[in-house]
Amino acid sequence: MVDAPTAGSEENAADAFLQGGPSLRNASGPYFGNYGGRWMPESLIAALDEVQDTFEKAKADPDFIAELKDLNKNYSGRPSLLTEAKRFSAHAGGARIFLKREDLNHTGSHKINNVLGQALLAKRMGKTRVIAETGAGQHGVASATAAALLGLECVVYMGAEDCRRQALNVARMQLLGATVVPVTNGSQTLKDAINDALRDWVSNVEHTHYLLGTAAGAHPFPAMVRYFHEVIGEEARGQILEQTGKLPDAICACIGGGSNAIGLFHAFLDDASVKIYGFEAGGEGVETGRHAAAISLGRPGVLHGARSYLMQDEDGQTIESHSISAGLDYPSVGPEHSYLADIGRVTYEAVTDTEAMDAFSLLCRTEGIIPAIESSHALAGAIKIGHRLTEGKEDPSEITVIVNLSGRGDKDVETAAAWFNMLDDEGHVKGTTLSTRKPKGPSDRASEVPGEANSADADEDQN
């Protein structure tokens, strides 16, 4: 364990570690330095052991690898593209910005990589039901998708506040046959959804797998979720070498729990020349206290089964996080990120709501791509990094940066419309209510939604 670097010494610490230390790749857990572990009720330890055992066997099983590869290719649409964002680059100091297009995956984000892997494991364990938590709804949608594909029952816990922010994704999950349970405890966001999912899991563990959506939680989840997302970085590394003939100068990703980030970072961890940046949600500004920047401002603690950086008060009570992005609205972070922060291999910075939304708008208008607000934090970070790395450079285009575009922004259109003042007092998009024709009467077509018993159950549970 290398001591945490002091401000300004981050590059030296990283270089020293990389020159003298062992590989940072394939860390297996349960511990990442002082982080990780299993701070969980005894009732769930046997289930965690079962997941770990099944995962280890599956990794060594060519049939499993082939099945996952086939789904990634023929269902998700992998490999995802690496798109050079030429017009966007002009706003990042002229550095060449490349977007890893996880937004083009089936279901619209990186989340599908992990859920397909875990759903296959659930089948191997003989589980008939999966549960999931979701913040932005991307992981919930992905889980509902994988469950539909593999014939598993699916229940998704979602904070009531997030249900409101991401109503479209609630409907998507229900259309896919999942039951969405709004969580009204605590801050009614991602952390509370995880609490309720854990309560469900401990009660139904015999036939239920908890399909955790981020690289956090108790061992083996951090290492396992990373494993299923490593494909992001592996593809990106090959693609950038092919397109530019060299490794990138920097890679960037947004950090909530940190799954898309660790998936991208992993392939580059041992490439000493590649600077790695994670961008946390700075919310209304880290000085306001209303943010979700666990690494930047938290201190180590235990939440949801792992020791990691955590936003907590003097009593160890979790502080509610704040972010315009539901998917980053989490007061802790995956333990491997805490470790990578301490040793200085990855630099973590906060990006405010405003900076993220500016980057959101910029990508829409310069590249014709509507990014998820989560991913917009990485884009905003890339703008800063681009300026920083090209400073004083004669030819800024020598600098190349990969940004993980972890998801598409369709789900965020309503939030964005409100942010950019595109709505009237009634909440309608301005200029869309001029028609004088009467709207067609309400018709309840719920019974016509194709599907089986699950959709009926879902309706009941919603009422």
Partner 1 sequence: MNEQTASKSAAAIDKARAEGRAALVGYLPAGYPTVQESIEAGIALARNGADLIEIGIPYSDPVMDGPVIQAATTEAISNGFRVSDVFDVVAGITATTDAAVLVMTYWNPVMRMGVDEFSRRLAEAGGAGLITPDLVPDEAAEWFDASDKYGLDRVFLVAPSSTPERLDMTVKASRGFVYAVSIMGVTGTRTSVSSAAEEVVARAHAAGADRVCVGLGVSNPDHVREIAAYADGVIVGTALVAALRDGGVDAVGQLTKNLSAGLGRAAAEA
- Could you give the residue numbers annotated as active site? 111, 133, 406
Among 6, 23, 317, 435, binds partner 1 (CB under 8 A): 317
Strand order in the sheet with 153-159: 179-183, 153-159, 129-134, 208-210
Q: Which of 372, 148, 168 is nearest to 254 (CA)?
A: 372
Number of residues assigned to the chain: 463
The residues, ordered by sequence, that sit 6+ positions from 139 with a Cβ below 8 Å of its Cβ are: 111, 114, 115, 132, 133, 213, 214
**Hey, what amino acid is at 363?**
L
What's the token pair of residue 64?
């499993």
Q: How far is the CB of 139 from partner 1 (least distance, A)?
A: 19
| Strand ranges inside 296-341, DSSP E | 299-303, 306-310
Residue selected from 3, 42, 452, 460 as contacting partner 1 according to rule CB under 8 A? 42
Scan residues 47-86 and list those touching partner 1 (CB under 8 A): 47, 49
Report which of 239, 308, 240, 229 is spatially closest to residue 262, judged by C-alpha positions.
229
Cβ nearer to partner 1, comparing 21 with 41: 41
Torsion sign over Cα 333, 336, 342, 344: negative
**In the complex, least distance from residue 344 CB atom to partner 1, rounded to whole angstroms:** 24
Q: Please report whether residue 40 would count as binding partner 1 according to CB under 8 A.
A: yes
Amino acid at 233: G
Q: Which stretch binds partner 1 (CB under 8 A): 132-140, 301-309, 348-356, 392-400?
A: 301-309
Residue 339 CB, nearest approach to partner 1 (Å): 17
Site for partner 1 in 137-196 (CB under 8 A): 185-186, 191-192, 195
Residues in the interface with partner 1 (CB under 8 A) total 36
Beta strands 129-134; 35-36: pairing state: unpaired
Among 9, 12, 26, 43, binds partner 1 (CB under 8 A): 43
Closest CB to partner 1 among residues 12, 43: 43
Residue 98 pairs with which residues in a beta bridge?
Answer: 84, 402
Nearer to partner 1 (CB atom), residue 198 or residue 253:
198
Element containing residue 252 per DSSP (H, E): strand 250-255
Pick between residue 202 and residue 247 the one whose CB is nearest to partner 1. Answer: 202
Stretch of 3-11, 135-143, 313-321, 440-448 contacting partner 1, by CB under 8 A: 313-321
Please say which residue, 303 or 401, places its beta carbon nearer to partner 1. 303
Among residues 140, 225, 144, 142, the alpha carbon closest in space to that of 190 is found at: 140
> What phi and psi values does residue 287 have, to the nearest 5 degrees?
-75, -15
Q: Which is nearer to partner 1, 29 or 37 (CB)?
A: 37
Using CB under 8 A as the binding rule, whether residue 1 contacts partner 1 is answered as no
Cis peptide before 439 (omega within 30 of 0): no
Shortest approach of partner 1 to residue 119 CB, angstroms?
A: 22
Q: Please select the residue that binds partner 1; options are 4, 9, 25, 41, rule is CB under 8 A.
A: 41
Residue 275 C-beta: closest distance to partner 1, Å: 33
In degrees and rounded to multiples of 5, residue 312 shows phi and psi of -145, 155
| Region from 33-41, 209-217, 351-359, 379-387 binding partner 1, contact rule CB under 8 A | 33-41
Q: Which is nearer to partner 1, 310 or 362 (CB)?
A: 310
Burial 434-458 (b: 16+ CB within 10 A, else e): eeeeeeeeeeeeeeeeeeeebbeeb
Q: Around 449, how many Cα atoms within 13 Å sit in the side-chain half-sphere?
A: 21
Residue 151 burial by Cβ neighbours in a 10 Å radius (0-12, 13-18, 19+):
exposed
Determine, following the binding rule CB under 8 A, whether residue 338 of this chain makes contact with partner 1: no
Give residues 185-224 in contact with partner 1 (rule: CB under 8 A).
185-186, 191-192, 195, 198-199, 202-206
Among 11, 21, 25, 45, binds partner 1 (CB under 8 A): 45
Among 176, 303, 383, 401, binds partner 1 (CB under 8 A): 303
Nearer to partner 1, 253 or 310 (CB): 310
Name the site residues for partner 1 (rule: CB under 8 A). 37-47, 49, 185-186, 191-192, 195, 198-199, 202-206, 301-305, 310, 312, 314-318
